[in-house]
Structure 1
């Protein structure tokens, strides 16, 4: 089956955390690429992944990523890598919506351990 263009408009949608949204752009046993949106004041629970290596890329807004108790503030066009085993937490401390792309290899769902 040939590939087709995909976006949040036609991708499989899910919700997570406190009013956050996600869309599966690529979902295979080897790779996961998702677009996520985080309203102002939202965050996820600190956790780590046993196997998954992740890359978070900011499309819109100001995004805080806490990795191993160190905070990094990222803006549109910036990204950060999280290695397997590193405790991390995505946070939107801003007053605006944040949109990010999260790439996980292998996929992170089912590989999460809360810290």
Structure 2
């Protein structure tokens, strides 16, 4: 058995970003924290589905650089394999969400540089 605590997530960028709680062998569990003004880079997974459970605050989640959703505490969203996702905290409070990625594959993440207001990347246009 493994254990972890949501409040002890080792965030990638010190005080914010994704932080893994448990990794593999079949599923990843982690927390993403965004302070006001922070974002989480636009990316997708080829074979992994990723589910987000919003724990606190609110953020804007962009899907495939075209559709945006305001996500709030208590909301649950699942991104299918191949579906790009990007979060930005435009509020004045912290945002935290639990994420679950399955199946486990630490190499399945494709970064696609993009922020709102920029043209939709060709990788999205070609998938439609």
The verdict on a shared fold, with TM-score over 0.5 as the criterion, is yes
Report runs of 4+ in structure 1 exceeding 3 Å deviation: 8-11
Of 16, 20, 23, which aligns to 1:20? 16
| Superposed CA offset, 1:2-61 (max 9, x none) | 454x213455x1314x95144322211310010121101111221111111001111000
Render the CA deviation track for 1:80-114: whole Å, top value 9, x for unaligned: 11000011111111111001101100236421112
Q: Give, in whole Å, the separation in 2 of the partners of 1:50 and 1:105.
A: 11
How many residues of Structure 1 are paired with residues of Structure 2 in the alignment? 111
Alpha-carbon separation, structure 2, partners of 1:83 and 1:75? 20
Q: Unaligned 5+ residue runs, structure 2? A: 113-128
Query: Normalising to structure 1: TM-score of the pair?
Result: 0.83
Normalised by the length of structure 2, the TM-score is 0.75
When residues 108 and 73 of structure 1 are mapped into structure 2, their CA distance, relative to the original with a 3 A threshold, is: farther
Which structure carries more helix by proportion?
2
Structure 1's unaligned 5+ residue stretches are none
In angstroms, what is the RMSD of aligned CA positions? 2.1
Q: Is the 8 A contact 1:8 1:23 kept in 2?
A: no
